[in-house]
Structure 1
Amino acid sequence: MTDLRRDGYDVVVAGGGAAGLNGALMLARARRSVVVIDAGAPRNAPAEGVHGLLGREGMPPAELLERGREEVRRYGGQVVSGEIRAVTRDGDGLAVTLADGRVTRARRLLVATGLVDELPDVPGLRDRWGRDVLHCPYCHGWEVRDRAIGVLGGGPMSVHQALLFRQWSDDVTFFSHTGPPAGEDAEKLAARGIRVVDGEVASLEVTGDRLTGVRLSDGTVVAREALAVSSRMVARAGFLAALGLRPQEHPSGAGEHIPCDATGRTEAPGVWVAGNATDLTAQVGTSAAAGALAAAHINADLVAEETTRAVAAHRERTASAARL
C-alpha cells in the first residue's frame, strides 16, 4: 500500500484515465504537489486499441495509461491505487477518504473518474462489450467497416447511432427491441437504407469467439457481425455527495453527468471535473485535453490565492516597518 502525504497535496486527482493523468502531468510540470488516486477500472479496458488519438493510434489502452503514469511520476507526481469513498470540507481545503481508510488533504480536487455504461439486459451482451458489441463509431467504425452491423434500439441515441454507423457500412440493420422508430426517425432510417427488424432481442449468437447473429424472442436469428448499443452513461461521482455535487441528467438524455463551466470548474468551490464524468461522449484525446485545461485553471486559481496571501503579508510587513 502506497503512503499518502500526511500534509496533503496542492491537488488530488480522482481517476487515472486520460483526463486525470494529463491533468496531473500539467500540474506536476507546474511544480504542484499532486497525487492521482485511481481505482484501476478504466472504461475502455475491453478495447483492443485507442483510436483517433494522433501519434498513439491503435495503442492498447493499458499501455497508454502506463506511459501516462510514468510521465506523471517523472515530474514528481504520485500515482496511488485506491478508490475514493468520500470528499468533505476540511477548513479551507478538502479531506479525501479512501475505501481502505486512508485519508489525505487537498487544496483543490480534479474529478476524472469517468463513467459507467449501463447496458440493456440482453444475455451475452456484456461479455462482448468493447469487442464486437460497440458504442462509438469513431472508436470502432473502421474495424467493422463493410461488415453486417446491427444496432439495438431502445436507447436514447439508438437512431442517431444507426445513422452514424451507416457511414462505415451499407449493411446496417436496426433492431427495434423495446423502442420501435416512428415518424421522422423511421423516415431517416428508410432513406438511408437501414432495415428495421421488429421484435425484442433475446440474446446474441456467438460462434467460437465471434458474434454471428442476433436472436429475437420468437427464435428468429438475424446474421450480424457487430452490434452497436446505446448505453445509458452515468458519471462515477457518488463520493462527491457531501459537497453537494450529484450527477444530473445530461441535456442529450444519454445519462447523468457532473455539470461544469468551460474550464471544468463545478459549483463546489475548489472542485473541477474533466473527461467522461462531465462530457459523456468525450474520446481519449478530448478527455486528455479537458484534463490539461482544467489543470491550467486549477494552477491559476492556486496562484491567485497565493498572491492574495502574499500581498496581505507584504502589506503587514510594510505597515510594521513604517511603525518602527
Structure 2
Amino acid sequence: MIFDCVIIGGGIAGLQAAIQLGRYDHKILVIDKGGGRSELCQEYHNLLGWPDGVSGEYFRTIGRKQAEQYGVEFILDEVKDVVKSPDGFQAITDSSAFCGKRMLIATGIEDRLPPIDRIKPCLGKSIFLCPDCDGYEIKNKKTVVIGSGNKGAGMAAVLTYWSKDILFINHDKTDIDDKHKHVLKKHNIPIYNEKVSDIQVVNESSLQSVQLENGKKVEVKHAFLAMSGSKVNTTLTKSLGVERLENHHINVNPRTKETNIPHVFAVGDATAHSQLLSIAMGDGAQAAIWIHKSLLSERGKHTP
C-alpha cells in the first residue's frame, strides 16, 4: 500500500498533522516507537484552555483516538532509515517498509535525565525542563538546577528572572567556563560539584529534597533539569540528504515546513524552533496544509 503521507513520530506535532491530513481524507500512516518527550510531562500549565494543567500522555492518547476517527492508521515500531522509492519514500523498520508519497519527520528530542526513577512522576509538577513553559511555577521559590557544566549554569542564570533563590548542582562535574562562573557569582548562585544520588518526594510527585553523593541533603521543593547529552532524533534523514544544522536540528522552510528535499517535511522539536507544545501543534497543522496542497498539485498534473 502507498500512503499519501507517512508520519514518523506520534508526538504532539505528528498527531496534529495526522488529524489535519485525515480531515482532508488523505491516506495517512503514523509510525511511532513510543517513549516520546511529550510522555514525560505530567502537567502543562501554559496552554490556552487548560488553566489547571493537562498531561502530555492525555494529549497523545486523545490525539490518537481523534486521528483514528478520520481513518489515520498507527503502527508501533521504530523507523531505522528513510529512502527514496519510485512512488515517493520508504520508511524502513526491522520488520517492514512503508511507502508514502510524502514523508513527515516528527521524531523530536530525547532528553537525558539523571537515572533516578522517582524523577519522572515529578516532571511538570515539581521538576521541570523548560523555563519558557514552567518558569512561572517557581516564582519567588527556592529552586535547584540539576545540570551539566555550562548548560546547567546557563539555566540557573535564566531562572533568576523568576526567583533569586537558585542553587546549581553540577551533577556531571563538568567544567564551567569563566563566563558562566562570573554569571553565577553575579547572581549569588551557589555551586555544588556533586552527583545527585537520590531525591525524596511525597505523594509521588512533590519534591522534598535532593540527596547528594557526598551525603549532603538539599531541602528544596522545586527543580529544573539541564543535562547535556539530549539527542535530536534526526539521524535517519541523513540518507535522504536532508539538511541539518550543526546542532542536528532539521532546517525547514518556515512557511511550509518542507525540507531541502522536495516532499519531505519536518515539524516539532526535530526542527529549529522554540520547544513549546503549542508551537509543535502549530507546526503540525501548518505542514499538513502544505502537504495537502502538494498532493493536490500532483493530482492536477495527472488530470486529463
> Cα–Cα, structure 1 residues 225 and 267, in superposed 2: closer, same or farther, change >3 Å?
same
TM-score under structure 1 normalisation?
Answer: 0.79
Equivalent residue runs for 1:254-273 within 5 Å: 256-262=248-254, 263-273=256-266
CA shift, 1:277, in A, is 1.1
1:123, distance to aligned residue in structure 2 (A): 5.2
Which letter does structure 2 place at the counterpart of 1:299? H
Shift of 1:184: 4.6
| Contact map agreement 1:204 1:215 (CA 8 A) in 2 | yes
Structure 1 residues 123 and 19 mapped into 2: Cα distance closer, same or farther (>3 Å)?
closer
With the length of structure 2 as denominator, give the TM-score of the two structures.
0.83
List per-residue Cα deviations over 1:70-89 (Å, max 9, x = no partner): 22223332233332232221
Kindly name which structure, 1 or 2, has the bigger radius of gyration based on alpha carbons. Answer: 1
Percent same amino acid at aligned positions? 26
Q: Deviations over 1:112-145 (max 9, x none)?
A: 12111134xx553x64142544211233334444
Query: Deviations along 1:225-269, whole A, 9 cap, x unmatched?
Result: 23322233322234334323486532xxxxx32222213212233
The number of equivalent residue pairs is 295
Residues 89-100 of structure 1 mapped to structure 2, 5 A cutoff? 89-99=84-94
Alignment CA distance shift 1:112-1:173 (3 Å)? same
Give the counterpart letter for 1:259 in structure 2: N
> Which one-letter code corresponds to 2:159 in the other structure?
F
In the alignment, residue 128 of structure 1 is paired with which amino acid? I
1:226 aligns with 2:218: no
Moved more, 288-297 or 36-45: 36-45
What aligned pairs does 1:168-317 form with structure 2 within 5 A after superposition? 168-176=162-170, 178-179=173-174, 181=176, 183-192=178-187, 194-206=188-200, 209=204, 210-216=206-212, 218-231=214-227, 232-245=229-242, 248-250=245-247, 256-262=248-254, 263-279=256-272, 281-310=274-303, 314=304
RMSD of Structure 2 on Structure 1 (CA):
2.8
The structural deviation recorded for 1:41 is 1.6
Out of 63, 67, 84, the position equivalent to 2:79 is 84
* Counterpart position of 2:70: 75
CA distance in 1: counterparts of 2:115 and 2:298, whole angstroms: 54
Distance 2:302 2:151 in 1: 49
CA contact (8 A) 2:140 2:165 kept: yes
1:97 and 1:247 map into 2 onto residues whose CA distance is 20
Is structure 2 residue 167 aligned with structure 1 residue 134? no
Q: Can you give the 5+ residue segments of structure 2 that lack an aligned partner in the other structure?
A: none
272-281 vs 70-79, greater mean Cα deviation: 70-79
Equivalent residues of 1:155, 1:230 under 8 A apart: no
The 2-side partners of 1:51 and 1:155 are apart by 28
SS at match of 1:141: helix
